[in-house]
Chains A and B, each alone.
Chain A
């Protein structure tokens, strides 16, 4: 069909491609014709690679373009310019029929589940298989397998109206996996669920990723979703990717203001109200500097503050803090108040011990 397909199928050349990205967006832009005159740009020069077998989370506010981004991957939307390559096929250039076939290897789950109310759980899961033209016997066997995978074997004959939100999403996941896809797209799949159900759905997705080696691309507006399932994260704002990388790095050393704002509610990052209210950008003679210390890795357990007091004789106030684990690695944050006179020495000391520091402001 087109040249790149042939190259990718050549095994000697395949090894030359550094990361085996199963999904690749290459300088993708999407412009919608505006209702009144001016066209609206939804995505602007997006480059993104999702490595085979990984879980990549895209986080952004509503209207940031993440919905458009995920729909480009299975061709529900066409890019205005750029290429979308999934498993070696240029999705953006496939004719309709080939695209429908390609979509069988790209599953998708939705915020509002999108199950047919007229079909039972089992019948909903069977639908993509019916559409693909499988034999009845094959379908029955596969549906049984999927129902047990998502833990709903006892609900097979229930209609969606008789299922809870979490159970509906499990049916959605089973349906998305029916045609044995290589990639799963998750469009805010847990945004309509309560925290506990969210937890169990994310656990299921993690298990599927680990056991079936399925690559997952998810979009969300919740940092908690990213932290509990994703290995890599891309932050999208105004149609551009403003920050991307390893989840641990982005969580512990956020670079962009948008990323910081998403992290603001994360444990240990939120300042207690009595500090936040009195925080000023400028120092005054009697004020204290408020410093956030970021611990990564083994330093997380070091008694740094004790040393600060003992070695430099600097007394600090602990204002907020937490110790946590992100992507399986320990990390923590501690917010302290330091007398202005000792600020420079404190920062130098902390940096010397390999800790991240950030001066948040000053309180009188």
Chain B
């Protein structure tokens, strides 16, 4: 591999990590409260608001069922509004975040719903308010599952980020397509795939270790 290739590869990896980190970060910022709300606003639940729950549920499902590549193109006006442009790494962060938020919200909802209902009952019995129940019971108890969910989201976002290459988003996917495929450089394609595999592997292991640390339900030797 030439130094030029390594330079390109390093730059693309940096772009991918940046896109994924920022979209996952903002996605969590919005997805966490949204997920908690989805998990606690059903009929008879802590913040019972069945209609809002249903409406948000439909919006989340609609976003999640739109193929990512279509979403990218469909929200170009919105992307321009936020990032000032529709081309480049910064612009790519907008559709990635839009896709990440409902995905993360559903993962968080699932994690919160796994928490034993008995704990909510116990917390209500000793006088906790709904907000205290969320902050002191539901989120801490769901944390190991939340961490695993976020790991899954980050890994999926790495895959999504390869697609934004199609609209000039940069990153590893873009590099692979432009050099590896369009310029007939199979070694570049291979290098991109290897970097992606290593990246995903490393992030998944990190997430697993972190989640296991947090999980006190299993005994640690």
Residues on A lying within 8 angstroms of B by beta carbon are 74, 76, 100-104, 106-108, 110, 112, 114-119, 127-128, 130-132, 159-162, 175-176, 178-179, 185
A-B contacts, 11 of them at CB < 8 A, read A76-B125, A100-B128, A102-B127, A103-B124, A103-B126, A114-B118, A118-B140, A118-B214, A127-B126, A131-B126, A179-B127
Residues on B lying within 8 angstroms of A by beta carbon are 116, 118-119, 121-129, 132, 136-137, 140-141, 143, 214, 216-219
The 9 closest A-B pairs by CB, nearest first: A114-B122, A128-B126, A114-B118, A103-B127, A108-B125, A159-B216, A100-B127, A117-B217, A118-B140
Nearest CB of B to A174, in Å:
12
- Residues on the B chain within 8 Å of A74, using CB: 125
Query: Please, which residue of chain B has its CB at the minimum distance from the CB of A179?
Result: B126
User: Would you call B127 and A128 a contact (CB within 8 A)?
Assistant: yes
Given contacts A132-B127, A162-B219, are A117 and B122 in contact (CB under 8 A)? no
User: Would you call A116 and B125 a contact (CB within 8 A)?
Assistant: no
- Residues on the B chain within 8 Å of A131, using CB: 123, 126-129, 132, 136
Query: Please, which residue of chain A has its CB at the minimum distance from the CB of B117?
Result: A114
Query: Please, which residue of chain B has its CB at the minimum distance from the CB of A106?
Result: B125
Nearest CB of A to B44, in Å:
11
- Residues on the B chain within 8 Å of A128, using CB: 126-128
- Residues on the B chain within 8 Å of A117, using CB: 141, 216-217
- Residues on the B chain within 8 Å of A185, using CB: 125
- Residues on the A chain within 8 Å of B128, using CB: 100, 128, 131
- Residues on the B chain within 8 Å of A104, using CB: 126-127
Question: How far, in whole Å, are A76 and B214 apart by their CA atoms in the complex?
Answer: 31
Given A76, A115, A118, A179, which contacts B143 in the complex, CB threshold below 8 Å?
A: A118
Nearest CB of A to B175, in Å:
42
User: Would you call A116 and B127 a contact (CB within 8 A)?
Assistant: no
Nearest CB of B to A156, in Å:
15
- Residues on the A chain within 8 Å of B129, using CB: 100, 131
User: Would you call B122 and A118 a contact (CB within 8 A)?
Assistant: no
Main secondary structure of the interface of A (DSSP, over half): mixed
User: Would you call B218 and A161 a contact (CB within 8 A)?
Assistant: yes
Query: Please, which residue of chain A has its CB at the minimum distance from the CB of B216?
Result: A159
Given B121, B126, B214, which contacts A107 in the complex, CB threshold below 8 Å?
A: B126
Query: Please, which residue of chain A has its CB at the minimum distance from the CB of B139?
Result: A118
User: Would you call A76 and B124 a contact (CB within 8 A)?
Assistant: yes
- Residues on the A chain within 8 Å of B140, using CB: 116, 118-119
User: Would you call B121 and A76 a contact (CB within 8 A)?
Assistant: yes
Nearest CB of B to A37, in Å:
18
Question: How far, in whole Å, are A175 and B122 apart by their CA atoms in the complex?
Answer: 10
Question: How far, in whole Å, are A76 and B128 apart by their CA atoms in the complex?
Answer: 12
Question: How far, in whole Å, are A86 and B157 apart by their CA atoms in the complex?
Answer: 54
Question: How far, in whole Å, are A100 and B118 apart by their CA atoms in the complex?
Answer: 17
User: Would you call A108 and B143 a contact (CB within 8 A)?
Assistant: no
- Residues on the A chain within 8 Å of B217, using CB: 117, 161
Query: Please, which residue of chain A has its CB at the minimum distance from the CB of B118?
Result: A114
User: Would you call B118 and A112 a contact (CB within 8 A)?
Assistant: yes
Question: How far, in whole Å, are A131 and B137 apart by their CA atoms in the complex?
Answer: 11
Given contacts A159-B216, A161-B216, A161-B217, are A108 and B126 in contact (CB under 8 A)? yes
Question: How far, in whole Å, are A118 and B147 apart by their CA atoms in the complex?
Answer: 14
- Residues on the B chain within 8 Å of A160, using CB: 216
Given contacts A127-B136, A161-B218, A161-B219, are A114 and B121 in contact (CB under 8 A)? yes
Question: How far, in whole Å, are A60 and B140 apart by their CA atoms in the complex?
Answer: 36
Question: How far, in whole Å, are A175 and B125 apart by their CA atoms in the complex?
Answer: 11
Nearest CB of A to B191, in Å:
42
Question: How far, in whole Å, are A118 and B114 apart by their CA atoms in the complex?
Answer: 14
Query: Please, which residue of chain A has its CB at the minimum distance from the CB of B142?
Result: A118
User: Would you call B116 and A114 a contact (CB within 8 A)?
Assistant: yes
Nearest CB of A to B220, in Å:
9
Candidate in B119, B123, B141, B216 with the most chain A CB atoms within 10 angstroms: B216
User: Would you call B122 and A108 a contact (CB within 8 A)?
Assistant: yes
- Residues on the B chain within 8 Å of A159, using CB: 216
Given A74-B125, A100-B129, A127-B126, 5 more contacts at CB 8 Å?
A102-B127, A108-B125, A112-B118, A114-B116, A127-B123
Query: Please, which residue of chain B has its CB at the minimum distance from the CB of A101?
Result: B127
Query: Please, which residue of chain B has its CB at the minimum distance from the CB of A105?
Result: B127
Candidate in A117, A160, A175 with the most chain B CB atoms within 10 angstroms: A117
Query: Please, which residue of chain A has its CB at the minimum distance from the CB of B140?
Result: A118
